[in-house]
Copies of this chain bind each other. A is one copy, B any other.
Amino acid sequence: MEQVEETLAGKTNRCYRLRQRPTGRVTSADLELVEETVPELADGQALVRNLYLSLDPSNRIWMSEMRSYLPPVPLGEVMRAIGIGQIVASRREDFPVGALVMGFSGFQEYAVLDDATDLTPYTRLPEPTPAPLPMFLGALGHTGITAYLGMHDIGRPEPGETVFVSAAAGAVGSVAGQIAKARGARVVGLAGSPDKCAHVVEALGFDECVNYKDPAWRELLAAAVPDGVDVNFENVGGPIMDEVLLHLNIGARVVLSGMISQYEASSGTSTWAGQQSIGQLIMQRASMTGFLVLDHAERFPEAIEYLAGLLSEGRMRSDETIVEGIENVVGAINQLFEGTSTGKLLLHVGDPELAVPTG
């Protein structure tokens, strides 16, 4: 093991350092791609070769100074991101060389696993992995588990109730809607193109999908929820959420999973006008509840078992959009805000090169 480490220390690591806080879309002046050398490992550390990196709206939050559940990434630091990788050098027994791991790996090729500095401890993937690796950052990963927790704990749709899911073609929304269908609800989605809407209905099994880029989207939305909305699984915020709130039924539950429309506004340059319809929560005796998947690590096995069950029964489909190459981080992040991806957006930056340990 020491031998492996010595050949890796000094190897080049391409990584993105946050140089300034973006205004609107992210640019290469905000996130600079630099080449550095992999450091020597200390006792208790391991070296992770990143394989897939997760692109999440949260990345954009962490670049800003918005008050969030994690501190902003300090200027000059490697940009924070969740990833899957393989241990390629190790000075700790619980993470042997070859092990597949998940953690806050950052936008880089190599990450040093270190309990003293990692935001949350790395976890090992099951070996052998029961599904393709990208799925562990998607339908069976943090976005799928977000959908599970939000729909089961907060939304709790009953058979026949109407569930509205914004960003229905996205990583969380696509899973949330499929869970609601599995629970017997009528599920209406919202997405940003006719093609995405067709995908949401035909491939994901939603009952209807509204294209919010259609000038008549408000009327289309109203027509799609003739019995009102009992559960709003909200990923977008802004005027879309405001419009959905106007259709809430008495006792409705708003699952506040994300507000991607707001995240680019945190630099103060946007036209964000705030939420106009929050008062509807009073009128309809409704609740709006925020939550974070990171709080519920003890529920992950339950969630993964449920989601894997739906997948194996053919009642759920996992979509990923995979961008190739570490050099494409900036463009890939912006895809989230341009709505040009479907399902979970990932960056593929490497392949397992070492044998995965058995047992």
Contacts and interface: CB of A to CB of B under 8 A. Distances in A.
Which of A69, A256, A258, A280 has the most chain B CB atoms closer than 10 A to its own CB? A256
A123 interface: no
Contact of A282 (B272, B278, B287, B292): B292
Contacts of A279: 66, 237, 259, 262
Interface residues of A, number: 33
B291 A282 contact: yes
Contacts of A274: 242, 273-276
A283 B290 contact: yes
A283 B67 contact: yes
Interface string A257-273: 11100100000000011
Copies in the complex: 2
Given A273-B273, A290-B286, A278 B246 contact: no
A271 B339 CA distance: 31
Interface of A: 66-69, 237, 242, 246, 256-259, 262, 272-276, 278-292, 295
16 contacts: A68-B283, A69-B283, A242-B274, A256-B281, A256-B282, A258-B282, A259-B278, A274-B276, A275-B278, A281-B288, A281-B289, A284-B290, A285-B295, A287-B287, A287-B288, A288-B288
Contacts of A67: 246, 280, 283
